């Protein structure tokens, strides 16, 4: 009977009656000397708890270079994906010759439309100057 009374005393939980539903916290277990790895756990936990502060400080300090690096990497990935897609399209048996015929046809139309006659060449030059003025920001009256 003494054994069960001792166990009952050890398993007792203090209840705070001043606040309903509040249970008194148990004291933390005493560190045991038979587990030496626990002395290495605390520095790791401290580092992990401060990790968001370290990462936030790093990003705030190096924000512009990180954005530049991310843009460069995304540009490289975009070029690689584009080249892979073009290579896959080029591997389709009749698609490459069809694209060549379309290119030859468009070139023939462009030459016929804009380059054969003097009036159409002047029209093309005027369109080019207009586009150049829009890009550079100059008015046509200034040139």
Contact of 23 with 16, CB cutoff 8 Å: yes
What's this model's pTM, rounded to 2 decimal places?
A: 0.42
Give dist(CA 62, CA 75) in Å, integer.
Answer: 20
Give dist(CA 120, CA 116) in Å, integer.
Answer: 7
Contact of 114 with 123, CB cutoff 8 Å: yes
* Domain extents in the chain: 44-91, 93-136
Taking the alpha carbons at both ends of the chain, their separation in whole angstroms is 111
In a structure prediction context, what are the per-residue pLDDT tens digits for the chain, which is 143 residues long?
566 776 766 777 666 666 666 666 777 766 665 667 777 888 888 888 999 999 999 989 999 999 999 999 999 999 999 999 989 988 889 988 898 999 999 999 999 999 999 999 999 999 999 999 999 987 655 54
Contacts of 132 (CB under 8 A, 6+ apart): 138
Contact of 23 with 15, CB cutoff 8 Å: yes
Helix H, strand E, coil C: the string for 9-71 is HHCCCCECCCCCCCECCCCCCCCCCCCCCHHHHHHHHHHHHHHHHHHHHHHHHCHHHHHHHHH
pLDDT at residue number 43: 85
Contacts of 143 (CB under 8 A, 6+ apart): 129, 133
pLDDT at residue number 14: 64
């Amino acid at each position: 009977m003494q054994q069960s009374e001792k166990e009952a005393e050890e398993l007792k939980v203090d209840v705070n009656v001043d606040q309903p539903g509040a249970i008194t916290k148990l004291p933390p277990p005493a560190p045991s000397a038979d587990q030496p790895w626990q002395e290495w756990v605390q520095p790791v936990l401290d580092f992990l708890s401060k990790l968001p502060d370290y990462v936030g400080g790093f990003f705030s300090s190096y924000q512009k270079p990180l954005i530049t690096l991310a843009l460069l990497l995304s540009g490289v990935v975009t070029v690689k994906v584009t080249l892979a897609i073009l290579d896959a399209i080029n591997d389709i048996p009749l698609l490459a010759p069809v694209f060549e015929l379309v290119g030859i046809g468009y070139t023939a139309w462009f030459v016929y439309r804009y380059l054969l006659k003097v009036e159409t060449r002047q029209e093309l030059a005027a369109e080019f100057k207009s586009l150049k003025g829009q890009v550079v920001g100059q008015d046509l009256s200034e040139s």
